[in-house]
Copies of this chain bind each other. A is one copy, B any other.
Amino acid sequence: MIVRPRPHLLELFFIIKGSIVLRIMPLLIFVATLSTVIVSIYTFKPGWLPKFDGGPFALLGITLSIFLAFRNNACYERWWEARKIWGEFVLTARSLARLSKVLESDKDVTQSPRRILLECNIAYAQALLVQLRPSNPQHKIHAYLPEAVFHEYSSSKNPAEAILRAMECVLIQALHSDRIDSIQFNMLDELLQKLAQVQASCERIQNTPIPFGYTLLLHRTAYTFCFLLPFCFANTLGWATPFVTALAAYTFFGLDALGNELEEPFAMGANALPISALADVIEIETKEALGDTDIPPLPVPKDFVLM
C-alpha cells in the first residue's frame, strides 16, 4: 500500500511510485506513434486512408466506460472487503488476548494455556500470510508453535486450520479441567470461529477472481477501441491527435491496469494490502498483552510502500 501525504499540483504529474503509468507506457507509446503515423498519412497522402466520423466511436467509448466502471467497482469492493477481513483479524486477535485472561489462574507457570493459545495465534497470522504470499519466510511459525503442533502444521493439507485445531484442544482441555466453564468456553470458541472465518474469506478472494470472461471481454474491447481512436480523432484534432489519444488511452488502460492490481489484494503490487505489517501488529500486540518485553518495533513503510 502506498503511504504518502497527498501531493501538490505539480508533484502530481511527476510521481511514479504507485502510478501504473510505467506498466502501460509501451501501450501509450504505441498509441501515440500510431496516431502520428495516421495523421501524417492524412496530411501528406490524403486519400490513402478513409476518414471516419467520431460518432460511432463515442457510443463505443461510453459503453466501454460504463463497463470499465462496473469492473473497477467490483475490484475495489474485493480490495476493500479484503481490508475489512484483516481488520477483523486484528480485532479478533486483540479480543482473544484480552479475554483469554479468564484462562489464567494463580498457580500458572510460564507455559500457561493462555500463552500457548496466544502464541499459536501469532503463528496463525504468519501461516495465513504464507498461504496468501507463498514466498513469505516461515521461521516465525516454527518459533511460536509447540513442536507437536508444528509437526501437524507441516503435514496438513490445510496448515492454518491445523493450528486452529490445536488452539481448540487447549480450550477443550481447559474446559474439561474446569479452568473455564461452558459459557467461557463458548466465548473463546467464538473467537476461534472468527479466526477461521478470516482464513475462509481470504481464500475466497484469492481463489475466485472476477469471472475470466469479463476480463477478456473488457481487455479486448478496450485495446481495440484505443487502437481505433486515432482513426476517428485524426480527422478533427490534426497534430494534437497523438497527445489526446495518449490521454484517452492513459485513462482507459490505466483504469484497467488498476482494476487488475486491486483484483488481487494479497499480491505484492504497490497497491496491494499491507498484510505483512498487519500480521506484525498482531504479533506485537499479543506479546504486549502477554507481558513480554522483547517486543519488535512497529512496521514502517519502505520507500512509501507498506507491504
Contact = CB atoms under 8 A, between A and B. Distances in A.
Contacts of A25: none
- Assembly of this chain: how many copies? 5
Contact of A285 (B6, B90, B161, B184): B161
Task: Give the size category of A's interface with B.
Answer: 35 or more
Nearest to A158: B285
Given A165-B289, A204-B87, A53 B237 contact: yes
Nearest to A26: B9
A211 B13 contact: no
A243 to B, nearest CB: 9
A169 B63 contact: no
Interface in A11-45: 12-13, 15, 18-20, 27
Contacts of A172: 101-102
A143 interface: no
Q: Which residue, A189, A200, A215, A285, has most C-beta atoms of chain B within 10 A?
A: A200
A13 B220 contact: yes
Chain A facing B: main interface SS: helix
A288 B158 contact: yes
B255 A217 contact: yes
Interface in A193-213: 193, 196-197, 200-201, 203-204, 208, 211-213
A66 interface: yes
Contacts of A221: 247, 250-251
Contact of A157 (B50, B184, B295): B295
12 contacts: A19-B213, A52-B236, A53-B237, A54-B55, A60-B244, A61-B63, A63-B252, A74-B76, A94-B200, A98-B192, A161-B285, A213-B254
Given A65-B66, A187-B189, 4 more contacts: A157-B284, A186-B186, A208-B273, A211-B261
Interface of A: 1-2, 4, 6, 9, 12-13, 15, 18-20, 27, 50, 52-67, 69-70, 72-74, 76, 79-80, 83-84, 87-88, 90-91, 94-95, 97-99, 101-102, 156-158, 161, 164-165, 168-169, 172, 175, 181-187, 189, 192-193, 196-197, 200-201, 203-204, 208, 211-217, 219-221, 223-225, 228, 233, 236-240, 244, 247-248, 250-252, 254-255, 258, 260-262, 270-271, 273, 284-285, 288-289, 295, 298
